[in-house]
Amino acid sequence: MKVVLDTNIIVSALMSPDNACREVLRMAFDGRLRPLIGNALFAEYESVLARDYLFHGCPFDADKRNMFLDDVLSVCSWVEIHYLWRPNLRDEGDNHVLELALSGGAEVVITQNLKDFRAGDLQMMNHIRFLHPRECLALVREEKLSWQH
């Protein structure tokens, strides 16, 4: 299943070894889901992971965060975005996440900021599910969401 992992999933996975975000990433590394990546999301991942102040108390220093990002990117599928939908989400900074999902044919966007994706203007958004990582894992456990395609 193609998914888009919002940046907050990557950050949270680094901060705690035992949370839903880390489990979602394990599923990506195990091949149970296929994250999509594009220019804007890659730049955001890179920028956020370079901010030392966000990772105070995190066991990953800047070099380890860069290696982790390389590992994440190794399981991602690159998507070229040729058309900017600009669905005018509540947070303009999230539009690129939705554009990536639309361009790459993602079925799910996994994010901890669900409220930011609830107010889009495009009807095409209706086929994309926006799930919190805990909700995503619960649906997988209940076999209501299958990663096998």
Of all residues in the chain, the percent with pLDDT exceeding 70 is 89
Residue 12 in domain = yes
Residue 123 lies in a domain: yes
What confidence category does residue 149 fall into, taking pLDDT thresholds of 50, 70 and 90? very low
Which CATH number covers residue 36?
3.40.50.1010
**pTM of the prediction?**
0.90
Q: How long, in residues, is the chain?
A: 149
Count: domains in the chain: 1
Mean pLDDT of the residues in the chain:
88
26 domain-assigned: yes
Identify the domain containing residue 45 by its residue range. Answer: 2-141
Is-contact 34 75, C-beta < 8 A?
yes
What pLDDT was estimated at residue 84? 77
The residue ranges of DSSP E strands in 38-89, in sequence order, are 77-78
Stretch 54-78: mean pLDDT, rounded? 94
Q: Are 97 and 41 in contact (CB under 8 A)?
A: yes
Bridge partners for 36 per DSSP:
77
In a domain, 148, yes or no: no
Q: Is residue 149 part of a domain?
A: no
Asked if the structure places residue 94 within a domain, the reply is: yes
What average pLDDT score do residues 9-16 get?
A: 93
**pLDDT value for 11:** 95
**How far are the Cα atoms of 61, 103, 118, 128 from residue 90, in angstroms, in the given order?**
33, 20, 8, 17
Structure tokens at 13: 């996975």
